[in-house]
Structure 1
Amino acid sequence: MWQQSNRHSPPGILLALLVGLQPCNAAEMGAIPSNQIQSQPLFQVRSETLVVETPIITGVSQSICAKPGDSVQIIGNHFPPHGTAGVALGGNSQHLDVVTKSWSTTQITIVLPLSGLQAGKRYYVGLEKPDHSRWLSNISQSVMICSDAVTGVSRSAVFQGRMQIQPRQGSSGFASSGNDAPSVPPQTEGTVPPGTMQPGGNQPFRPSGGTLIGAGLPSPPQAPAMTADIQERGIEPGELLILSADMQEALQIAQQLATSGLRPIRRQRLVGLGLVITAFRLPKDDRVAQRLQQLRDSLPTLWGEANHRYQLLGSAAGTEEPAYEQIAWRSETGCGSGLRLGMIDAAVAPDHAALVGQSVIRHSFLSAGISAAPAEHGTAIAIQLVGSNRGEYLGLLPEATLYVAEVFRATTAGRTETTAEWVIHALDWLVQQQVHVINLSLGGPRNLLLEKVLERVMATGTLVVAAAGNQGPKAPPVYPAAQQGVVAVTAIDQARRLYSQANQGDYIDFAAPGVDLRLPRLDGSPVYRSGTSFAAPFVTALLAYSQYAGEASVSGGVEALKQHTIDLGVPGKDTQFGWGLIQATGICSGR
């Protein structure tokens, strides 16, 4: 609410103005403490302070769920005057304006739209500027739509289980001023700026300017213990990552941490996710684990984490594997047309014979001066997904568009690795490209910031598929595959036996071919590769196409896949094969 101070100027204010008091500089104006009033000159003008209170939504009054056309009360404080702000619903890749019935500083009654809402979905609610340029309030409160109440969403308005997002006049994502503008990574060959239309796709993704998490992130979960091995080799030395709800919060945190000697070295808006990530440099001789624990003890609501390292999950191996036959995959001309796939991996060689002429859009997220990892792994995954149907190595969805986020570096010690920070930037970019499924053939330790960002990614309706890990049956869970909501894929051989190096655990969802797959080297010669890395693309392709063909919605894609598997191991879901070996239910063709 906008309020003006109720302090009144002395009775002689008019006389003081008439005798020509000099106007004071706005920067020098300030309220006078009450204990100093008697000592002030009789005719001094006391400043009028304009106090701007941030609107806060504390609750939404509804039953278990609401239907289109229902009235819903929004409860809170400091709501601005009617006409200076609007109310909107967001989430599920939608942004819907609502009509208001009544408006006060503490309560607003809205009417839910009669069309456009998706059944069984939850929408966050917030106050926004009339031009839709930014949220004015928190958006941590939500409205649940009844699962059997929505009739206003036509089939023509839905594409792959998500609403098409129409460009909004005046929408800029984030309102920026001064130097507080969104930071855009340098574009590389084939990079498509956010919002650019691509053939066979949806409308460009337009962030609403807020975050599903709300203004002020909730308190983070309990952090996992950092083992000695991770402290030694599994993190970026001398760095901490902080996730913030917005730029103002990020700047405030930086000021607070500066007193402890932490210095921000990189900061960037995650435009597609409505968050801000900042990397801090620790003082010399500080230990990451110790400083992180100190911060968590003193600031329990702070989203801070080490900058963990992640590895690729594939290797070379032995004999040919008829993988397509194992999952009953058949394709015709046009298979994958109109689909948008995302992958986060090592570099891809665009001039490889199996990728020439294919729709592959690349973006490198490596910092300047960092050596990119060899392109063997990334190129192999890309060929599995969209390899040309004119050559020897046929891709699963050859007519799809593939967005490649290149994040892996080559270290001087000969390792191939990436960081949580780069993966987060890559996820943000892929959300802006509005891909249907993201393939993650990588793994490492749990990272709270990456976990929260993936929650935000999946909340947009984007499916995330990850390799289950190659550390063996007694190894701890590998992330992000072990995160709830991420589809974890293990590998089997031609005899439907589990890959000997595969991780095991209750987080495993599905099995797919991933042992002795015949794939090309960079020079085109064949090599046989094994690993959960190479099993994940089969599930990525199957989930993407099942949604595109209308066989399953975004939310029902995984459930539908469970119904078409060959159960392996003990009956039902198990820690080795998950629900079993995936099976295609039809012929992949053009539309």
Structure 2
Amino acid sequence: MRKRFICILLMLLIFSQSVFASELSAENCIKVAVIDTGISTRAIDAEHIAEGYNYISDNNDTEDKIGHGTAIAGIIAGSSYAVLSEMVNDVKLVPLVIQTTDESGKVQIGDTEMIAHAIRDAIDIYGCRVINLSIGTTKESKLLREAVEYAEEKNAVIISSVGNKNVKNPDSLYYPAAYPTVIGVGSVNKNGRVSSFSQRNKSLMLVAPGERIWTVSKSGKALLTSGTSFAAAFVSAAAAALIHTCPELTAAEVRSILCESATDILEPGYDMGSGWGILNLEACLNRE
């Protein structure tokens, strides 16, 4: 199992040098919305960042003041300091800021209405086919549910982390991961075992590397981190790769391919510990 998992991880790590190696024109590039804390241009090359929006400040300032969004971006699109490096011009990250700090350093977090608004804008204004939401709320919301349904209608794939509270709150469901058309992602360690912190419930669809993951900080330095947030970023990158190779895929087809090609690790088929299994980029891209 460990050797197989390492092979899968290596495929993920060379993702940026293989799948995204070709040059695409601006109108054909895959846009990935990162609904998070923004993206630092000190860490991620500006040429890989498209125009986005700051919903907290109500302006176009999407520089990351916290670091979480930059770490997610470092996994999806790479940087010179991240493990996934040398991503080129066929993916553009769209930073949509729903969490930041004010001038005093106090954290400001958007509500579910703001997240729902960002999802719709990611599709209608920014043309994103993939939406990464490494965030979650335990409160179900009509507006959020309708935004997720709208994304499905428009063939935009939403990937969201399932949460890191399994030890203390194992029954907690986090939205939007818990919605059936969202790919809820949990974490596994380097040995392919489900991380102790990763939620195990019906919100889970896939697991991906989420422990001791190298990415990049907002200052542009190497960052070692853990969490289902970062596992979700790997799946967002894989979803972008699938759409890159086959743009006519529907959101439902992308989900199906990712799940059917996953490496099963616990009970045969689906289980609430590991979903359909570990993300397997090689298998999903080489499907017949």
> What is the distance in 1 between the residues matched to 2:217 and 2:8?
18
Matching residue of 1:392: 81
SS of 1:548 mapped into structure 2: helix
CA deviations 1:188-212 (Å, max 9, x no partner) are: xxxxxxxxxxxxxxxxxxxxxxxxx
Matched, 1:341 2:32: yes
> What is the distance in 2 between the residues matched to 1:335 and 1:397?
10
Matching residue of 2:206: 510
Match for residue 260 of structure 2 among 563, 569, 581:
563
Matched, 1:407 2:98: yes
List alignment gaps of at least 5 residues for structure 2: 1-5
Query: What's the offset of the Cα at 1:359?
Result: 3.6
Query: What's the offset of the Cα at 1:440?
Result: 0.4
> What is the distance in 1 between the residues matched to 2:217 and 2:253?
37
> What is the distance in 1 between the residues matched to 2:205 and 2:241?
18
SS of 1:512 mapped into structure 2: strand
SS of 1:449 mapped into structure 2: helix
Query: What's the offset of the Cα at 1:339?
Result: 1.2
> What is the distance in 1 between the residues matched to 2:23 and 2:232?
17
Q: Is the 8 A contact 1:350 1:360 kept in 2?
A: no
Matched, 1:325 2:19: no
Structure 2 letter corresponding to 1:376: G
> What is the distance in 1 between the residues matched to 2:73 and 2:159?
15
Match for residue 490 of structure 1 among 178, 186, 189:
186
Query: What's the offset of the Cα at 1:477?
Result: 0.8
- Within 5 Å, give how 1:284-299 maps onto structure 2: none
Matching residue of 1:270: none
> What is the distance in 1 between the residues matched to 2:245 and 2:234?
16
Query: What's the offset of the Cα at 1:336?
Result: 7.8
CA deviations 1:400-436 (Å, max 9, x no partner) are: 1111111113377955632112212211211122211
Structure 2 letter corresponding to 1:512: A
Q: How many residues align?
A: 265
Identical pairs, percent: 22
Structure 2 letter corresponding to 1:458: E
- Within 5 Å, give how 1:257-336 maps onto structure 2: 324-325=9-10, 327=12, 329-330=14-15, 331-332=17-18, 334=21
> What is the distance in 1 between the residues matched to 2:222 and 2:192?
23
Coordinate RMSD, CA, aligned: 3.0
Matched, 1:471 2:156: no
Matching residue of 1:443: 136
Larger radius of gyration: 1
> What is the distance in 1 between the residues matched to 2:178 and 2:52?
27
Q: 1:478 to 1:533 in 2, by over 3 A?
A: same
Matched, 1:423 2:120: no
Q: Is the 8 A contact 1:568 1:581 kept in 2?
A: yes
Matching residue of 2:233: 537
Matching residue of 2:56: 366
TM-score of the two chains, using structure 2 as the length reference:
0.81
Query: What's the offset of the Cα at 1:346?
Result: 0.5
Match for residue 581 of structure 1 among 267, 278, 286:
278
Query: What's the offset of the Cα at 1:355?
Result: 2.1
Q: Is the 8 A contact 1:358 1:387 kept in 2?
A: no
Q: 1:509 to 1:329 in 2, by over 3 A?
A: farther
Q: Is the 8 A contact 1:469 1:478 kept in 2?
A: yes
Q: Is the 8 A contact 1:373 1:408 kept in 2?
A: no
Q: 1:580 to 1:326 in 2, by over 3 A?
A: farther
Query: What's the offset of the Cα at 1:476?
Result: 1.4
Q: Is the 8 A contact 2:257 2:284 kept in 1?
A: no
> What is the distance in 1 between the residues matched to 2:283 and 2:147?
34
Query: What's the offset of the Cα at 1:499?
Result: 1.6
List alignment gaps of at least 5 residues for structure 1: 1-320
Q: Is the 8 A contact 1:381 1:534 kept in 2?
A: yes
Q: 1:586 to 1:339 in 2, by over 3 A?
A: farther
CA deviations 1:131-166 (Å, max 9, x no partner) are: xxxxxxxxxxxxxxxxxxxxxxxxxxxxxxxxxxxx
SS of 1:577 mapped into structure 2: coil
Q: Which has the higher contact order (CA 8 A, sep 6+)?
A: 2
Q: Is the 8 A contact 1:348 1:375 kept in 2?
A: no
SS of 2:281 mapped into structure 1: coil
Query: What's the offset of the Cα at 1:361?
Result: 2.3
> What is the distance in 2 between the residues matched to 1:516 and 1:335?
30
> What is the distance in 2 between the residues matched to 1:365 and 1:475?
31
> What is the distance in 1 between the residues matched to 2:14 and 2:242?
12
Structure 1 letter corresponding to 2:134: S
> What is the distance in 2 between the residues matched to 1:519 and 1:455?
31
- Within 5 Å, give how 1:140-155 maps onto structure 2: none
- Within 5 Å, give how 1:9-48 maps onto structure 2: none
Q: 1:581 to 1:396 in 2, by over 3 A?
A: farther
Query: What's the offset of the Cα at 1:358?
Result: 2.4
Q: 1:477 to 1:586 in 2, by over 3 A?
A: closer
Matching residue of 2:45: 355
Query: What's the offset of the Cα at 1:496?
Result: 0.9
Q: Is the 8 A contact 1:328 1:583 kept in 2?
A: no
Is 447-456 or 394-403 further displaced after alignment?
Answer: 394-403
Structure 1 letter corresponding to 2:236: T
Q: Is the 8 A contact 1:441 1:532 kept in 2?
A: yes
> What is the distance in 2 between the residues matched to 1:587 and 1:485?
19
> What is the distance in 2 between the residues matched to 1:409 and 1:529?
20
Matching residue of 1:282: none
- The structure where strand makes up a greater share of residues is 1
TM-score of the two chains, using structure 1 as the length reference:
0.41
> What is the distance in 2 between the residues matched to 1:325 and 1:357?
26
CA deviations 1:209-260 (Å, max 9, x no partner) are: xxxxxxxxxxxxxxxxxxxxxxxxxxxxxxxxxxxxxxxxxxxxxxxxxxxx
